[in-house]
Amino acid sequence: MADTSAAGAAPRYLRLDLNDNVAIVVNGFGLPAGTRFPCGLELLTRVPQGHKVALADIPEGDPILRYGETIGFARAAIRAGEWVDEARVVMPDPPALDALEIATATPAPQAPLEGHTFEGYRNPDGSVGTRNLLAISTSVQCVAGTLDYAVKRIRAELLPCYPNVDGVVGLTHAYGCGVAIQAPDAAVPIRTLQNLARNPNFGGQAMVLGLGCEKLIPETLLPPGAEAVVRMQDEAFAGFESIVAGIMATAEARLAVLNQRRRETCPAADLVVGMQCGGSDAFSGVTSNPALGYAADLLVRAGATVMFSEVTEVRDAIGMLTRRAANQEVGRALVREMRWYDDYLARGGADRSANTTPGNKKGGLANIVEKALGSVVKSGSSPIVDVLSPGERVRRKGLVFAATPASDFICGTLQLASGMTLQVFTTGRGTPYGLAAAPVVKVASRTELARRWHDLIDFDAGRVATGGMTIQEAGWDLFRLILDVASGREKVWADRWGIHNDLALFNPGPVT
C-alpha cells in the first residue's frame, strides 16, 4: 500500500465491515471537499484524518454503523460524502446487564505455541520478573518527601555496589491517613498496596517506610513474617540523618539479596502482560489494537497471562465479552464488575460518557461506544478465563479481564498490583506514559505519530494502514519485541529517558 502521509497521495478510506455506512479517512492531513475516491464517492465537506465520512445517505434517526455495530444514530439527515463529526451522532444506551448472553460463543483454544522464551528473574514463589528492582513502599503520604531523599542517596551511594540490581522504586501514594480505613471500599486501595509490594519485579524483597501514627499499619503491606519496616517515629532515631541512615541500612540488606538474582531462560508462559490504551483515536481500533490483539493471542497460545482492563472502555461492548467467557462463572463476574462500576459512577453523579476526552474526539472518536468497540479489539480472540476485581492478583494463565478505571495511571497501578511484569500501551494521540516498576512498550496507531515521536514510541502499528503490513505481521513483530523487552535485550524509550509516571491508587472509599 502507498504511503498516504504525504500531501498529494491517492485518497483512501478504511471500512471495517461490509455493513458499515461510515469509513475512516486515512490520508495524513485529511481531505478537502471535492475529493473523489476510487469508488466514485465525492466528499461534500472537508474530512480530517481519522474522522468518519458517510458512505451512503443516512436518514435522521438511522443507525451509524462501524465495526458492523451501531455506534450511534444520526441527529439529522447525513448525505453521502459528508463528515460525520461527533455533534451529528446521538449516543445509544448502554447494553442492559440483566439480559446478556454468557459463554454462548466461547472460542475454542488455539493451537499451543511452543519454544518461545525470555530471560527472566525467577522468584522463590514461582513468579518471574522482567526487572530486578528494590521497591520501597509507604504506608502514608507523610513520608513521601523523606523517601524521595533516601532513594536519591540509595541510588548514588549504594546501587553502584550492587550491579545486578536494575534500580530503586519508591511506591508513594496519597493513601494511609485521613481516609475511612474501615469503609467496605477501603479493601481496594489496601489490597492494591499489599499486592504491589509482591510484584514479581521486586523479587520478594520489598520494604516499607512508615511514619508511626497512621491508620494503615505498615506491617500489613508485607507478607506475614517480613521484617523490612522502618518507622520514622521510632524512638531509636535521633534526627533526620539518623532516620535516613536507618532506611539505607534496611535497603542495603535487601540490595544484597537482590544482587544474587540472575536472569535465566524461562518459557513465555511465565510472562504477565498488561494491556492498556490512552489518547486513542479512530485508528486505534484498526491498527494498534488489532495488532496488539493478535500479539495477545500469541502470548495466550504460548501459555502466558494477558490482562486487559478499563471498565468504561469495555462497558458498551460487554455483550461481545460475556459471550466469549470461558464459563458461566467468568461471565457473571464480568457482569458483576460492570454493575459495580455503573453504581460507582452513579454515586458520583457521572456516567460513561465522561470517559471520552477532547483528544479522543479530535482524533475522530464520536463517543464511548465507538471508543469501546475499538478498545476491546486488543483483547484478541481467546476465551476470557478469569475476572479480577481492582487490585487482585492474577491466579490463572490465559486472557484475564482485570477490572480497573480507564485512567492511564490508575489502570497501570492496578495492573502492577495484579502482578504485571510488562505493559503494552497503545496510543493514537501520543503520550509519554511510563512506569518505574515495569517496562511499558508504547505502540502508535499512526505512522505519522511514530515518526514525529521517534524517541518516545516503541512500535509503529500505523504500518497496518499505510505501510503494507498485515495485522498478523505487526502482531508477530510486537510479540517478539515483548520477549526482547522482557529479557532486557531491548530498552523502551520511557526507560531510556527515565520518564515514569507516579503511581495513582484507586480509592473508591470516603476520605475523612
Which residues of this protein are in contact with Ca ion, per CB under 5 A? 278, 406, 408
| Rounded Cα gap, residues 352 and 359, in angstroms | 16
Structural contact between residues 446 and 281, judged by C-beta atoms closer than 8 angstroms: yes
Q: Which residues of 134-165 are buried (b: 16+ CB within 10 A; e: fewer)?
A: bbbbbbbbbbbebbeebbebbeeebbeebeeb
Shortest approach of Ca ion to residue 368 CB, angstroms?
12
**What is the DSSP secondary structure assignment for residue 231, as one 8-state letter?**
E
Residue 80: CA count within 13 A, CB half-sphere: 11
Structural contact between residues 175 and 505, judged by C-beta atoms closer than 8 angstroms: yes
Shortest approach of Ca ion to residue 313 CB, angstroms?
7
Q: Which residues of 192-208 are buried (b: 16+ CB within 10 A; e: fewer)?
A: bbbbbbbbbbbbbbbbb
Shortest approach of Ca ion to residue 424 CB, angstroms?
12
Kindly tell me which of 321 and 406 has the beta carbon lying closer to Ca ion: 406
Shortest approach of Ca ion to residue 381 CB, angstroms?
22
The three cell numbers locating residue 426: 497503545
The three cell numbers locating residue 494: 520511557
Kindly tell me which of 166 and 408 has the beta carbon lying closer to Ca ion: 408
Three-class SS state of 10: coil
Alpha-helical regions (H) of 198-287? 240-258
Shortest approach of Ca ion to residue 411 CB, angstroms?
5
Kindly tell me which of 232 and 345 has the beta carbon lying closer to Ca ion: 345
Kindly tell me which of 408 and 460 has the beta carbon lying closer to Ca ion: 408
The three cell numbers locating residue 187: 479493601
| Rounded Cα gap, residues 367 and 355, in angstroms | 9
Shortest approach of Ca ion to residue 117 CB, angstroms?
30
| Rounded Cα gap, residues 25 and 79, in angstroms | 16
Kindly tell me which of 150 and 377 has the beta carbon lying closer to Ca ion: 377
Kindly tell me which of 278 and 331 has the beta carbon lying closer to Ca ion: 278
Shortest approach of Ca ion to residue 464 CB, angstroms?
21
Which residue's Cβ lies closest to Ca ion? 278
Kindly tell me which of 53 and 314 has the beta carbon lying closer to Ca ion: 314
